[in-house]
Amino acid sequence: MSTVLWANLLHEGKVVADERDKPALYKHSKKLDKLTRQLGLSNFLSFQDFTDLQFNLSADELPPGVESTDELMAQQGTWMAAQDAVDTLNNLIWHIEQNRIKFGFFSDDHDEIIRELKESLVVAEQANSVAGMFNFSVVM
């Protein structure tokens, strides 16, 4: 079992998860965060939510009336404005493609990073179209 990111949108209190694993984005989160800081964008790590991971690693039970970690994340999670996510992801994709940035020491996950960022951008654009919020949930 590996740790990955999922792209999510929040609209009217409901989480809609892409549920396509994004292992390269998780693996290279620190490098992506460094790039976003260099580019003056919202920090990549700042829109990662750990609700699901923390809950699954603990012995805690869901609060009364809460049926899933998605509901808990909707109420207490880390979210960013969808337009901010769209801008950040678009600029990050452009910069990585234009500069052919390599991800990895022995192998290059560049193509996987671009694919996963573009998948995430679709979710961010959907969130933006309904004036929702966006995040990446860290799931295991």
Domains in the chain: how many in total?
1
Q: Assess contact for 28 and 22: CB atoms under 8 A.
A: no
The token pair at 16 is 């809609």
pLDDT one-digit tens code per residue, 26-41: 999 999 999 999 999 9
Contacts of 6 (CB under 8 A, 6+ apart): 17, 18, 19, 20, 21, 22, 136, 137, 139
Which helix (H) or strand (E) is 133 found in, with range?
strand 133-139
pLDDT one-digit tens code per residue, 105-131: 889 999 999 999 999 999 999 999 999
Supply the pTM of this predicted model: 0.93
What is the CA angle 126-131-136, rounded to 5? 55
What residue numbers bound the domain in which 111 lies?
A: 4-139
Q: How large is the average pLDDT for residues 80-96?
A: 98
